[in-house]
Amino acid sequence: MSDDIRTLTTRLAEEPSSLAFLELAESLRQRGKLDAAYKVARGGLGRYPGLADAHDLMARILSDRGDLAGAFDAWSDALRLDPLRTGALKGIAFLYFRAGDVAAAIAHLERASEADPDDPSIHQALARVRRESTAAAPPPDTAPAPAPISPPAAPAPDSPFTAGVEDERGVLLVDANGMRLAGELSADDGSEAGDRVAAQLAGVSREAARATRLLGLGTWQSIAVESPGAHLILTAPTSETVLLVTRDASFPMARVGLIADRAARTARSWLEQVG
Amino acid sequence: MSKVTAGLDRVTRVPGVRGALIANSADGLVVAEQLMDGVDGRAVAALAGSLIARLARTAHSAGLRPPVFVHLRGDEGSILAAPGADGLVLLAVVGREANVGLARLEMLAAAGRLA
């Protein structure tokens, strides 16, 4: 038994009501211990039937076990609880593709793309499925071609910092002195506004921290700013940095918040690597 | 009941709202307030007013128009702000459990009547 699985098992034994089952079952699944992963996930689902993560996890395990119908049901349950869950949308798209229903696969991938436009893996899967859909169908007695998309292996957060320059637009990571660390921001006229905005953001973080502290509101977590034409979210991935995510005002603010959460996680990992 | 008072009243009726006030964003002076005990209106006006002014400058730097709504979220609660006309800003202090969506709608409606 590896150390991390032993640690997670101990943690779950000490706190059976914790969410440690998610990590433990996923670790077991990744090591191919599918029966053990299934048992852990089933126990967690029993405690948290309303948790989309648990259904998503169960779906991945069932998919790996070859129980595609069960996986479909589990991903459907995840989507009922969280309609924007891209892992479940991608999973169902994979199952539809396996079943030969390319149109349904594309429809689910398009929904996933709308929910998370910054996830490059969705765009890649869509492109591959569309390519396949335009290719000639093989004769019925030939062996099926390899699946062009893979089931979601894990809920991997996408990275605006590794997705290429185009996907970095609208995401800005700034240090405590108002200097840009990563990302780009364009003004409406197309000019680069990143450095100008970065210079303002260091002060925003200080003011937000001061306001929440003095008003008894704890540590500041985020600032959502609605402006005509744009929605902005500010977060602090670390105590020394500020992250700004901007999207068109047609994006619901809550969805911009999800994108910002993901970008902040990515920023933290990135900072650990480059720091 | 004046429009201002009626607006504050609707905002403070939203579950989880600890208080609301209208302040002049330029000097931080409180124009009207309905606050629960323990909420310092002058501190809210000064701290939030300063932050909103900076956010407006940030938006300007990005080529955007001034904010129409701001939600500063702390881990124990939030400050909501809806700038209105004539340099006035409607502010609310809300708990972690507040219905922020409803408070936002009430504040945008009330801020639209500020003058």
Kindly report the number of other CB atoms within 10 A of residue B88's CB atom: 19
Of A43, A50, A1, A3, which Cα lies nearest the Cα of A20? A43
Q: Does B77 touch chain A (CB under 8 A)?
A: yes
* Token pair 């008894």: residue: A216
User: Phi-psi region for residue A150, left (φ > 0), alpha (ψ -120 to 50) or beta?
Assistant: beta
- Phi first, then psi: give them for residue A179, nearest 5 degrees: -100, 140
In a domain, A107, yes or no: yes
CA distance B50 to B67: 14
Q: Tens of pLDDT along B53-86?
A: 888 888 888 888 999 999 999 999 999 999 988 8
Of A134, A152, A183, the last residue of a domain is A134
> Same structural domain for residues A103 and A172?
no
Provide the residue range defining the domain that includes A79.
Answer: 3-134
Distance from CA of A200 to the nearest CA of B (A): 6
The beta-carbon neighbor of A185 closest among B39, B62, B77 is: B62
Residue A156 lies in a domain: no
Q: What is the largest CA-CA distance in chain A?
A: 72
Which pair of tokens denotes residue A147? 């699946």
Report if residue A110 sits inside a domain: yes
Q: Tell me: do A114 and A45 sit in the same domain.
A: yes
Q: What is the CATH number of the domain that holds A15?
A: 1.25.40.10
Domain CATH code at residue A243:
3.30.450.30
CB of B42 within 8 Å of a chain A CB? The answer is no
Among A112, A134, A156, residue at a domain's last position: A134
Pairing, β A220-227 against β A180-184: unpaired
Same domain, A8 and A126: yes
Instruction: Flag whether A54 is in a domain.
Output: yes
- Structurally, chain A folds into a number of domains equal to 2
In terms of Cα–Cα distance, which of A82, A167, A95, A99 is closest to A125? Answer: A95
Beta-strand pair B30-35/B69-74: unpaired
- From A230's Cα to the closest Cα of chain B, the distance in A is 7
| Residues paired with A212 in a beta bridge | none
A160 is a domain residue: no
Predicted local confidence at residue A136, as pLDDT: 45
Instruction: Give the pLDDT of residue A119.
Output: 79
Pairwise CB contact (< 8 Å): A226 & B69? yes
Tell me: do A130 and A243 sit in the same domain: no
Q: Which of residues 157-196 of A touch B (CB under 8 A)?
A: 185, 187-189, 191, 193, 196
Given a contact cutoff of 8 angstroms between Cβ atoms, the answer to whether A208 and B72 are in contact is yes
Query: Are residues A256 and A195 located together in one domain of the fold?
Result: yes
Residue A20 covered by a domain: yes
For residue B105, how far is the Cα from the chain centroid? Answer: 12
From chain B, pick out residues whose CB is under 8 angstroms from the CB of A233.
none
Please indicate, yes or no, whether residues A196 and A104 belong to a single structural domain of this protein: no
Give B17-56 as a 3 state SS string: EEEEEEEECCCCCEEEEEECCCCCHHHHHHHHHHHHHHHH
In the beta sheet, which residues pair with residue B20?
B34, B92
Give residue A143's pLDDT: 43
Pick among B42, B68, B78 to test the A interface (most A CBs inside 10 A): B78
A82 occurs within a structural domain: yes
Predicted pLDDT of residue B12: 94
User: In tens digits, what is the pLDDT along chain A, a chain of 275 residues?
Assistant: 677 788 888 888 888 878 888 888 888 888 888 888 898 898 888 888 888 888 899 999 988 888 888 888 889 888 877 777 888 888 888 887 777 778 888 888 888 888 887 777 888 888 888 877 776 444 444 444 445 566 665 544 444 444 433 345 588 999 888 898 888 887 767 777 888 888 888 778 888 888 898 888 999 999 999 999 899 999 999 888 999 999 888 888 988 888 888 888 888 887 877 66
Which residue of A lies nearest to B55 if distances are taken between CA atoms? A204
Cβ–Cβ of B51/A204 closer than 8 Å?
yes
What is the distance between the alpha carbons of residues A274 and A74, in angstroms, rounded to a whole number? Answer: 38
**What CATH number should be reported for the domain whose range is B3-111?**
3.30.450.30
The reply to whether A252 touches chain B by the CB within 8 Å rule is no
**A79, A114, A134 - which closes a domain:** A134
DSSP codes joined into one string, A33-91 = -HHHHHHHHHHHHHH-TT-HHHHHHHHHHHHHTT-HHHHHHHHHHHHHH-TT-HHHHHH
Say whether B66 and A227 touch across the interface (CB within 8 A). Answer: yes
* Residue A114 shares a structural domain with residue A23: yes
The pLDDT value given to residue A235: 94
Give the tens place of pLDDT for each residue, B11-22. Answer: 999 999 999 999
Chain B hits for A203, CB-CB cut-off 8 Å, are 54
Give the HSE-up count for residue A219: Cα atoms under 13 Å, Cβ half-sphere.
6
Q: Are residues A269 and A181 in the same domain?
A: yes
Q: Do A177 and A221 reside in the same domain of the chain?
A: yes
Find the radius of gyration of the CA atoms of chain A. 21
- Domain assignment present for A152: no
Residue of A186, A191, A207, A243 best to disrupt the B interface, most CBs of B under 10 A: A207
The verdict on A111 and A209 lying in the same domain is no
Distance of alpha carbon A50 from alpha carbon A53, whole angstroms: 9
Confirm or reject contact between A142 and chain B (CB < 8 A): no
Determine the straight-line distance between the first and last CA of chain B, rounded to whole angstroms: 16
User: Which pLDDT does position A149 carry in this prediction?
Assistant: 64
